[in-house]
Amino acid sequence: MSKWGMVIDLKKCVTCYACILACKQEHFLPPNIFRSRLLVGEKGKYPNAKKFTYPIQCNQCDEAICIEACPTGATYKREDGIIAVGPDKCTGCQHCVMLCPYQQRTCYYGEQKEYFPGQGSTELETIGEKLYPHQEGTIVKCDFCAERIDAGISRGLKPGIDREATPACVNICMCKARVFGDLEDPESNVSRLIRERNGYCLHPEFSTRPSIYYID
């Protein structure tokens, strides 16, 4: 069984925010709701200051604290390692939000559904309500575009190689800073990058064994 993971090359990331926008467009995310973010800051002082950027999202942890925290079983791990949320079981208790070491879960309250309040839903928003209905009071998070992966595999496509089976944020990255593939395959694109470029995870001290690696 494949175990999907991602490698992010921090040297290639130019902080264009295309991955953030592609994610919002792909999943028709409501205002103020994000599945991924960019942490941007500076190190040092002028004239030796350096800018740093960390694209972050759900780390799809092997030892996911959020699963242990969920009292209803709404958060679960798929066979391919993706951490998903079943909205019909989610009560919005936010235990997982509080305990996620990476702070990558958001509760959707539904207080603002339109991007242009008072003007009604746009045509795109109307389509999104049908394709990706977001239930109020439930948790929203990255799931590696699981629907794209599943649909692609059913057609014989390979995630990380074929665009139709690959997460939207990977497809949109103009600098190819994001790479997606099978962590169980030692010869996959992600496995080779982790091995050859000393890939590392954020906060290894949490012992959650993330599926997202960084190289620099």
The full set of domain ranges for the chain reads 4-215
Can you tell me the distance from the alpha carbon of 66 to that of 84, in angstroms, rounded to the nearest whole number? 10
Instruction: Name the residue with higher pLDDT: 191 or 126.
Output: 191
Is pLDDT above 90 for 206? yes
pTM over 0.95: no
Residue length of the chain? 216
The mean pLDDT of 1-18, rounded to a whole number, is: 96
pLDDT of res. 124:
87
Q: What is the pLDDT of residues 16-74, one digit of tens each?
A: 999 999 999 999 999 989 999 999 988 888 888 888 899 999 999 999 999 999 999 99
For CA atoms 146, 152, 156, 159, give the dihedral sign. Answer: negative
Residues forming a β-bridge with 43: 50
Q: Count other C-beta atoms under 10 Å from residue 190's C-beta.
A: 22
Is 149 within 8 Å of 160 (Cβ atoms)? no
pLDDT of res. 52:
85
Give the CATH number of domain 4-215.
3.30.70.20
Q: What is the pLDDT of residues 155-187, one digit of tens each?
A: 999 999 999 999 999 999 999 999 999 999 999
Is pLDDT above 90 for 119? no
The mean pLDDT of 185-213, rounded to a whole number, is: 96
Q: How confident is the model at residue 90 (pLDDT cuts 50, 70, 90)?
A: very high
Among the ranges given (35-39, 64-68, 114-118, 192-196), the one the predictor scored with the smallest mean pLDDT: 114-118
Q: What is the pLDDT of residues 120-145, one digit of tens each?
A: 888 988 998 888 889 999 999 999 99
